[in-house]
Structure 1
Amino acid sequence: MLIDNENIDKMIKDLTSQQFDYSGYYLIHFLNGNNKKNLEYLFKTFLKLFIYNVNVVTSHNDQNIQLLTFLIFTEKSCNSSDPVIVNEYKNLKWNINLFYPPKMRNLHNCTMNVAGAIYEPAIMAQGDYENDNYTLIGVDVELINEVADVLNFSTKFIYESTPGGWGKINEDGDATGCFLQLMKREADLMIGFVARTEIVVVIPSGAPFNAFEKLFQPFQSEVWIAFGATFVLGIILVTLITLKKNKMWKNILIGEESKTPVMDIISTIVGGSIRVLPRRTTARILLVAFLFFCLVKRSLYTSALYKFLQSDSRKPAVTSIQEMIDNDFIIYYYPAFKQNYQGSKIFVIGEEIDQSEVSAYQRKTLDARFKGAVVNYDSQVLVLNEPIVIALSTWSFPKDSYLLKIFDETMSALRENELQNSKMYFQTPHSNTFQVVTEGKL
C-alpha cells in the first residue's frame, strides 16, 4: 500500500474485513513518514481494527530506510500502538533478517478481561459473592488458566452471577449482558461452556392403569388376538354343527346330551363347570383336550396377572414433542431458553415461566396426571428421550479480534497434548458482530 498524510482516513475506510484478511501481513510505504503524529494515528487506528501484522516503510533518503511497526504487548506496556523500529536499511542491506516480529506468542503478563456468567459446571463462584469474597472455579476457568500459562497473560474476570447473564444479541444489533461488554470492548473475550450437554425436557411418568385395563395387561395384544380367534372359531364350528339338520356329527363331536354347547364353551373358558357330560368316547376326548387347554391358559393368565399387580407398571410416557402436541401437553420454559434457542419446536406448545418457578413445575411432573413438561439442563427424574438441543460451548471474541488466531493455535496444541479431544472451529453468528470459538467436551 502507498499512502500519504492526506489519505490515511480514506485508506482505512476501504479496509473492510470482507475485502481484506485482518490476520494477514501488510506493508505500507508511508510518504513523509517522518511525521510521527500521523504515524501514531495510523497505528492506533489499525489496533482498533485488530489489524496487527502491519509494517510501515519510511525513507528519509535512498540510503536510509526504516521499517516500523507497533508491538501490542511488551514488558513495559499493554495494548500499545507506539511506533517501534524493527529494522533499517543501510549500506545496501538490512540490519537483521527479521521483518514481521511475532506479537502474540508472549503477552508479557498483560491483563485479559474475561467475561462470563454462572453456568455450572463451566463457571461457578466458590465463596461469598455478595461480599466480593469468592473464587471462580469450573471447567472453563481451568481451561482459560491453562491458555494463560501458555501465552503468559493474566486474567481479570467480569462475572455475572445470574443464570443467563451472558445475555444475547438482539436482531437490531444491540446486545445485553456479557455480549454487550464485548461490543463495548470492556471484555477481551467471553468464556462459555466447554463440556457438551443436552437440554432436556422433564416429563411426567406414564399414567397408572385403571382396574379394567389391568385385566388385559398380563398378555400382549398378539396373544389376546390368538386366543380370541381360537375361541371365536370354536364357537362358529359348534354353532354350525348344532344347526345342521343331520344330528350325526353333533352326536359324535359334541354329544347328544349337550343342549347348550356354546354356553358350555364360554363357561369352560372362564373356569365354570359343565353339568352334563357326553357319553360318546370321541366327544369326551375333545372335551378333555379343550378343558386342558383352558386350564393351561387360565393358569398362565392368573400367574401373569398376579406378577403384574405386584409391580408398579404404568402406561408408556411420551417419547417425542409431536406426541406431546397430539396429547395437548404444555412445555414450560424459562426466559433464557427462549432468548438463546429461538425457532425450537418447543415453542409450539410452550409457555414461559419465571426462572424461580422451574423447580416447582419440575416437582409437578412427579404427578403422572400432570399434562405438562419442563425445560431444564439436567434432571434426576424422567426426561424426554427425543434430543432437544445440543448446547455446544462457545468462547466469544470481538469481531476480527487478534486473539482468535493465537487462541486457536494454543487450544490445538493443548488438544494434541491430550488436554482436549475435540476439534476447534470458528463460527460467525448471524449478527456478524462477534466471532466465536466453539469446543466439544473434555
Structure 2
Amino acid sequence: MSQILFLLIFCQTFTSCLFELKHLPDYDRIVRQSLTECVVNAATRFFKAGETIFYSLPLCEVESTDPPSAVLDRLMLAALTQECKWSLFVKNVSFSDHSRGQVVHKPTHYIIQLRNQTEFLKNIDTLKHYNNWNPLAKFLIIAPVSENPRKLATVIMKKLWEVHVVNGVVLLPDRWDTTVFNAYTWFPYQQGNCGDDFDKVVLIDSCSFGNSTQFVNWYPDKIPKKFNQCPVKVRMVEWPPYIIGVPNGTWSNSTNNSNRGIEVNLLDLIAEIFDLRMFYYYSDAPLNWGEIYENGTATGNMKYLLDEIDDISIGCYGKTTRRAIFFQDTFYLSDSLVFCVPYSSYGLRFESMFRIMKPGAFVLTLFIYSILTSLMWLTSSNDWTCYQNLDNCMINTLCTLLGLPVSHRPKSEKVRIFMAMLMVYSFCLITAYQTLLDSALTDVSNKQRITTVKDVIDRGMDIYGVATTSRYFATDGSNPRTNKVNG
C-alpha cells in the first residue's frame, strides 16, 4: 500500500513539473498582477455587464519561449472569467485565420494585448477585416512593457483613428515604476482640431493593482455637437432633383440659392447645424456612380468612397443589401404616395378669435360691467327687488353679461335702462365671439409657410416621394443611363 501511495505522489510531482510554465522572477509576476487588476477594474467600471468582450492575444503568445506573455494570459483570463459579467471571446489573431464569423454579435468592447508597435499595427489590420468588426466599441489596449509609453500611445491612437475608432484607451507601464500603468487617450475635436493633430495624447489616469489615482471616466463623450468648421469631402453626380447645378469645387452654404437639389440642401442644413463645411465636387467622368461587388472591389465613385478618398457620395443612390455590407448609408426617401397639405399651426388659424381674448378687450368688458353694475345698485333705492343688495346685483348683472337667465328682473325705470345697456353689450360680445369662433373652425384657406427643406425639418415633417419615382441603384446592376427620375 505504501509503495502505491509513493508511486502516485511521484507521478503527480513529475506531471506538475513537466507541464508547469517556467516561473517568472517575483518582480515580473508582480507587474503582470498589477496590470491584471487594473484591467479588471477598468472593465468593471466602464464595460457594460452582459456585453461581449473580444480579447485579442498577442500574435506569438503560444510560443513556449515566451513565458511572460503566457503568464499574463493566465492571470488576465482567469480574472475576467471570475467576474462573470461579460461574454468573453478569446482570439489569437493571425493573417492565416479564415474563421472570421464566429462571433454572432458585434463585440461592444475590445481588449487588445500587444508587445510592440509592429504587432499592434498588424493586429488592427487583421481585425478590421472581420465581419464583426465594430469601430464604435470601447477599446482597451494593454502592454506589460514599453520603452517609450507616450510615443507608443501616439502611434496607437493614430492607427485607431485611421480605422475610425474614437473610444480608445491605451494602458502602458510608467517608465519609472512598471507596477504603475498610465491610461492615455485622445480628444480629436478639442481646441479647434479636426482629428488631424496626433501629438496631443492625454494622460487621464494612473492605476496600480486596481487602484486609480484619478477617479475619472476613461471613455467620455468625444463627439461634440459642433465640429469647428471641419471639412467633409462630398463627391457628386449631377442628377436632378437630387443635385441641381451645383458648381464644382464649392462649399456648403456659400450661395443664397436654395434650389441646389434635395441632397445638397440636406447636407447644407447638416453643415449649418453641426458647424461643418461640405466641399462639393464632381468626378472627371460624368455619371460616374460606380458599383460595389461581392468580393469587395468597386468602381467609379464607389471606389473613391471605399478607399476613403471621399467622406460622402451623393447623386440619387438607392439602398441595397450588398452596399450595406461595405458602407454606412442613410435612406431618407420612402417609395410611397402621401397626400400633403399646407402647414399651419392652430395658433395661426385662431389668431382672429384671439383678438377678443387680448387684455384690452377683457379690461373694456370689466370696466363696462363695473360701471353698469354700480349705477344699477346706486339707482335701485326705490326698487324692492334684490338689486338693492350689492352682492345680488353683481350676480344678476354677471348672468346677464354671459347671456344667462336671471331670477329677479328689475322694476324701476332707471335700473331697467342700465340693464338694457348691459344686455346690448352682452349681445354684441357673444355674437362677435361666436362669429369669430365659427370662422376659425371652418377656415380652410392657409397661407404658404414652407418654402425650403429647412422649413420642413424644423416643423418635424417627413419627406416622401411618389410611388412612380425610380432611383439610381434601385436594384443591383441597374443601368444609370436607362433609369429615369420623376421630379
**Greater strand fraction, Structure 1 or Structure 2:** 1
